[in-house]
Amino acid sequence: MCKQSTLEDPQRATHRVYLPFLHLILFAHSRPPTVLRNKFSHTLTLFFLCTYIDRWPSFFDDLFVLIRTPVPDGTNRPTTNFNRHVSLLFFHIVLEISGEVADQTIKAARSWNITRHQRDGRVRDTVRERDAAKVNEAVLLVVTEAVERMVELRKLEGANVKKELDAAVEIVDWGIRAFGSYVGMSFVPL
């Protein structure tokens, strides 16, 4: 469980601890190791659960800014409007959040705790009220762009095309997984 009183200002903590690490694993490597991405997304999710409601309400907005920071592929123009690495991290975080607060299989494997149960309910409600529409829009925009990129790439040939096509497929795959995970939490306005 998190202790709110011992946490420093979330913006300062993020800049001091997470952003240099985020830069290291997402920008310093052309393909960051999966274990690093998974571990980082889980840690950031736990930090989110402790800070989102009261101390870091702009969590998703801050992440959306990073998603919209494209990384050029060595040419003058980036290949997409979204940063692939941050998009994958975003999808992983959405999956982790869904797992932590709504996945009944994961919750059943833990001993029941009233504090966690109440926190999970508050997080679900707050995400629905504040950010559900934006999360949904971001997931669908990134997936749509990746699908369009896949269509373009299938018309081309070359060694780099397969690598880029695989990257676009990975984005679509994780985006669909993320969408499926939060639909059960009623993030999607019906």
66 belongs to a structural domain = yes
Residue 44 lies in a domain: yes
Count of the separate structural domains present in the chain: 1
For the chain, 190 residues long, give each residue's pLDDT as a single digit of tens. 555 544 456 556 555 556 666 665 555 555 666 777 788 889 889 989 999 999 889 999 988 988 887 555 555 455 568 888 889 999 999 999 998 888 878 877 888 889 988 999 999 999 999 999 999 999 999 999 999 999 999 999 877 898 899 999 999 999 999 999 887 665 555 4
Q: One-letter amino acid identity for 70?
A: P
Residue 68 lies in a domain: yes
Domain assignment present for residue 188? The answer is no
Angstrom distances, CA of residue 35 to CA of 28, 29, 90: 15, 13, 15
The pLDDT value recorded for residue 142 is 95
Q: Do the domain assignments include residue 55?
A: yes
Q: How far apart are alpha carbons 67 and 85 in whole angstroms?
A: 8
Asked whether residue 1 is assigned to any structural domain, the reply reads no
Instruction: Say how far apart CA 130 and CA 29 lie, in whole Å.
Output: 33
Dist. CA 169–CA 174, nearest whole Å: 9
Q: Residue 158 sits in which domain range? A: 8-183
In a domain, 33, yes or no: yes
pLDDT for the residue numbered 16: 59
Distance CA 114, CA 67 (A): 35
Q: What is the pTM of this model?
A: 0.80
The predicted structure's pLDDT at residue 5: 46
- At residue 110, the pLDDT reads 83
pLDDT of residue 93: 94
CB 172 within 8 A of CB 84: no
Name the residue type at position 159: A
**pLDDT of res. 190:** 45
Write down the pLDDT at residue 158.
79
In a domain, 2, yes or no: no
Q: What is the Cα–Cα distance from 30 to 10, expressed in whole angstroms?
A: 29
For residue 88 the two structure tokens come to 């994958």
Distances (CA, A) of 115 to 118, 122, 138, 181: 5, 11, 31, 23
